[in-house]
A and B are shown apart, each in its own frame.
Chain A
Amino acid sequence: DTAVSQTPKYLVTQMGNDKSIKCEQNLGHDTMYWYKQDSKKFLKIMFSYNNKELIINETVPNRFSPKSPDKAHLNLHINSLELGDSAVYFCASSAHLSGRAYEQYFGPGTRLTVT
C-alpha cells in the first residue's frame, strides 16, 4: 500500500537513449511533482501538475517531457539522454486547495545513471 511509487528504482543507460520513469500515487492528491537531486544533493523542482494540467515548468531542457494521463499518475520521458542527466529523480504528490500547496509525499526515487 505504498503511497507514492516510482518505477524503475534504478536505471542505467547510454547517452543518446530515450527512457521513461513512471510515478503513481494512491493518496487521492490532485498535484504531482518531479524533482531532480544531483550529485551535490540539491533538490530542484522540474515540473508540477495539478489535475493533469501543467502548473510549474522550471527551466528544464525540452528533452524532458512530463505526461499526466490522470490525477494519480505523472510520468517523465527523457529524450537523447546526456551524462549530466545522471541524478536521482523524485516524484511527489500533495493536496492543493485554493492556490495553497500542502505538504508533499515523495516516492522512493529513481537513480538514473547515464554512461
Chain B
Amino acid sequence: RKEVEQDPGPFNVPEGATVAFNCTYSNSASQSFFWYRQDCRKEPKLLMSVYSSGNEDGRFTAQLNRASQYISLLIRDSKLSDSATYLCVVNTNAGKSTFGDGTTLTVKP
C-alpha cells in the first residue's frame, strides 16, 4: 500500500462546478498536511496547509480527519484557471515529506 494515495482522476468538470478530492495516508504518526498545485511543465506550488479544524481560503476548503487518516480538498465555483494537478502531501515528525501521485483536474468552459 502506498503511504499517500489519491484518486488520479482525471476529473473533468464544467466551469462553476464544485469538485472534491480525497487523499488517504497510512502513517498515523504524520504531523502536517498540505495541498500543492502543479501546472503542466511547472514546479509544484503550495496551495494551502491543512489544519485539524479545517480551513478555508476563498473557494478552497481543506479538511483533515485524523481518525480515518484522510484529507480532502473542496473547490467551489471552479474556474478554467483551476485546471492543474493537485498533490496531497503528508509530513512525518522525522521531517520526511511524502507526495501523493496527484489528481488531475480539467475545468471546461
| A interface residues, Cβ below 8 angstroms from B | 31, 33, 35, 41-45, 48, 50, 55-56, 90, 96, 99-109
Contacts and interface: CB of A to CB of B under 8 A. Distances in A.
Interface stretch (B14-22, B44-52, B57-65, B66-74): B44-52
B96 interface: yes
Contacts of B46: 103-105
Interface of B: 31-32, 34, 42-46, 49, 85, 87, 89, 91, 93-99, 101-102
Contacts, number: 57
Contacts of B93: 99-100
A45 B98 contact: yes
The 10 A-B pairs at the shortest CB distance, nearest first, are namely A106-B43, A101-B95, A43-B99, A99-B93, A103-B46, A101-B91, A42-B101, A106-B44, A109-B43, A108-B43
B99 A103 contact: no
